[in-house]
Chain A
């Protein structure tokens, strides 16, 4: 058993270290992604490695060898993304995607990781569905 002052100091140090770790980790977590209009307003945001989220602009997706090129749009701004490696199967134009990478000086976002976001609306795809859902 550690003596009481020592124990208190140990707890204080552990708490401080834990708090530091949590806040530094949460900094990244609490702003999980940036949006195209934020990046358009302040490109320095994306010079370091960030996540960028927006809707995949319909008609913008094309393959360039090992690279998928598409545009992410949000708030009236669009960012062109060059994604190394194939996106997952559920990747579709018109759906939201989050890419991870950095903005180049050419204004193109170079990503090496992509995940899909999906909404909280659920419904069938069959046209026989009673309620008219827009694209979901």
Chain B
């Protein structure tokens, strides 16, 4: 299947070296982003220093979108190809997406308190983002529930993977709603700057800091994804696949933990 990702998740010296390179790249980008966002970029005229939260908030939101796009693609690939590795990729990406969506809401709350004067508002962007978090937290809960019910493993069982793939695809419908909520409806949240059709003015140093921060967050999330995939692969990939339930069909899997954290 995915040659590059397979190499990167391989438990070989070459795979380990590639993963170290990816981690160093992410670290270097993070240092660059911190310097650019903290020192090079000026404070905003209207918002002051609080605007620097943009270099955390926006990358978290974009990489969360990216993670949910991976859930969408991996779920589709699972339904087409039937390889359980795609299912594990969808699970790992959804976990990262949920964490980053929570981070987006947390940094946004702090930014909102500093600039708007409120932690939370019942605004279309904020409400739809909370729904996105609920949808993918629900997706992960659905996986766990199905695994509990079938007695299989979350990420190693087709009876979990198939409904989960449909849920993972359906959940992505919310991503464009979240992104366009500030265009479709009246909102306290400002509209997009970089991902806007007609780009409003942004200071070039701020734009550079933002792009570096997005690159660092993407690379960092990619490293976490690899780490998580390898962990799932070690625990689930080596196990004999659970076949159709027969009375004696329960594989005991003696030397592997029954559950994956």
A residues at B contact (CB < 8 Å): 25-26, 28-33, 53, 87-88, 90-92, 95, 98, 114-126, 129, 131, 133, 135-136
Contact = CB atoms under 8 A, between A and B. Distances in A.
Contact of A30 (B44, B185, B192): B185
Contacts, number: 104
A123 B94 CA distance: 35
B202 A29 contact: no
B44 A124 contact: yes
Given A32-B186, A32-B188, A126-B42, A120 B200 contact: yes
5 contacts: A33-B188, A88-B117, A92-B46, A122-B44, A122-B206
B190 interface: yes
B25 interface: no
B135 to A, nearest CB: 12
Q: Chain B at the A interface: mostly helix, strand, loop or mixed? A: loop
A115 B188 contact: yes
B137 interface: no
A133 B201 contact: yes
A129 B186 CA distance: 32
B190 A119 contact: yes
A136 B192 contact: no
Given A114-B117, A115-B118, A117-B190, 6 more contacts: A25-B127, A31-B185, A90-B46, A95-B46, A120-B196, A131-B201
Contact of B45 (A26, A29, A114, A133): A133
A121 B206 CA distance: 11
A115 B48 CA distance: 16
B46 A119 contact: yes
B117 A116 contact: yes
A123 B207 CA distance: 10
Contacts of A135: 45
Given A29-B122, A29-B123, A116 B200 contact: no
B51 interface: yes
A121 B187 CA distance: 16
Nearest to B196: A120
